[in-house]
Amino acid sequence: MFKTLPFLAGLLMVQLALVAQNYHAVNGSSFAGSLGVGNNPASIVNTPFAWDIDILSVQVKPATNAVTLHNYSLLSFGGTAEYQFDKGYYARFMQANANVNLLNTRIALSRRAAIAGGINIRSYSNIKTSPYAFVDTMKSARSFFLMNGGNTNYSADLTSSSWLELFGTYAQTIVDNERSRLNAGITVRVSRGLSGAHAKLVSGEVERIIENGQEKYVLKDAAARYGYSANLDGWKKEKGSNQNLQDFVRNSEGGASFDVGVEYLIKPMVIADFNDPAERYYDYDWKIGIAILDIGFNQYKYSNNSRTVRGFRGEVTDMDLDKKFNNIHGIAGFNDSLATIVNSMGRLAGNFNVINPMRVVVNVDRYLFDAFYINADLSINLSPLAGDQRLYVKETNLLAVTPRWETRNWGFYMPVLYNTEKQLRIGGAVKAGPLLLGIHNWATLFAKNRMQNGGGYLALVIRAGRDSQHKRDRKYDCPPY
């Protein structure tokens, strides 16, 4: 059984590496343009560009306390990287989210209205376990149960959802006066569920028994379910990459979601000047955004290998586990071995839905002086309100505070991030013309054991040429009489 752990670890690390709109640097920025639509659909109005196109952007953010990746950092990646399960007795978690944006385009219809649209590939994975002790030198089920002698109950929960989406956004100004402005926007998405998976173990009970002077561990009860999308089964080496990709997408299921948001701007208290540049229209002292994002779900068809199980057939010991699961081959082999020890096993059929990472996002952006701003972004997950009987994924973000210096073509950013797993990170980003490059954790640049809690983003955005005067320096603003 424990010989399969390196394979599972590798699979999890791949998921962490490959798997949200988490471009923290530009949250709340009027220069974000098409990059800002994922944080608030209303934000595309207050942008001083006639149009902009996010040609390609990629973002990855992993978070875990279960695995450490050694001998690897962003500045030293020539050696042999190794992963290791972290030892100790505690509850484990793994979370990962990622997105790839393709040709996300924003077009200003006027100062008061804008549209946006594009293609995204997005992925979320959430894994949680109950507390248990583990070291990666374990070779048998007995060694695991022996180390967890006082622990007789186990639970675990995994949900993963990846999808391809096509979106359209419309936003406009609905209230405008000399002191403030209110913008509102909506995004509508249609999607195809690329891959989905879930697994849950509850009531996993183990009893330690001394019989004839010999110690053994008996599995007393457990209930579990696990399933994944059927299109993953269709990937065959003999078909070739092109045919595999076509079949993979063709056999996916549809989904839908939408975002709504508003943005309230408090304008600067300065005297209007006829000679002011056109970009002054977009200035503000405060900008407050509220949005509800990812209201919807993605759908997947169950693989024939998806199962639900309950109880055990007779007395099942730690030795039985080692014998049954020592040399399994694939999920079908796992199912066959499991069927010999459980009391009941059923096949999960039909479709399953995974609720998107629905959340409310509150963003406050404050102009300071010159080209300096500070932004605070609070994200509160709403998808868990669906209850434990439904499948959902969650956003890792909780709070981000980002001071920045930013002009139309240049920018320096230092987001301070606190996530839902109580991890504090300090990131950084730089904008140079069309390029935005950022990391979520500065430690991953130098330390060789932090990559599993790092991630970053890269965006290539082209914008309309300047059709007005240079943005003025606001430090020369005069107060009103």
**pLDDT, tens digit, for every residue of 106-134?**
999 999 999 999 999 999 999 999 999 98
pLDDT > 60? residue 50: yes
Domain ranges of the chain: 7-468
Q: Choose from 180-189, 203-212, 305-314, 471-480 the range with maximum mean pLDDT.
A: 180-189
Q: What is the 3-state secondary structure (H, E, C) of 351-414?
A: EEEEECCCEEEEEEEEEEECCEEEEEEEEEECHHHHCCCCCECCCCEEEEEEEEEECCCEEEEC
Confidence category of residue 458, pLDDT binned at 50, 70, 90 = very high
Q: What pLDDT score does 466 carry? A: 56
pLDDT > 60? residue 267: yes
First to last CA, the chain: 78
**pLDDT, tens digit, for every residue of 401-437?**
999 999 999 999 999 999 999 999 999 999 999 999 9
pLDDT > 90? residue 269: no
Count the Cβ atoms, other than its own, within 10 Å of residue 276: 14
Q: What pLDDT score does 273 carry? A: 55
pLDDT > 70? residue 307: yes
Q: What is the mean pLDDT of residues 349-377?
A: 96
pTM for the structure as a whole: 0.87
Yes or no: say if 30 and 48 are a contact pair by the CB < 8 Å rule. yes
Q: For residue 200, which of 151, 129, 132 has the smallest C-alpha distance?
A: 129
**pLDDT, tens digit, for every residue of 149-167?**
766 789 999 999 999 999 9
β-bridge mates for residue 378, sequence order: 362, 399
Q: What pLDDT score does 251 carry? A: 86
State the Cα–Cα distance between residues 447 and 416, nearest whole angstrom.
18
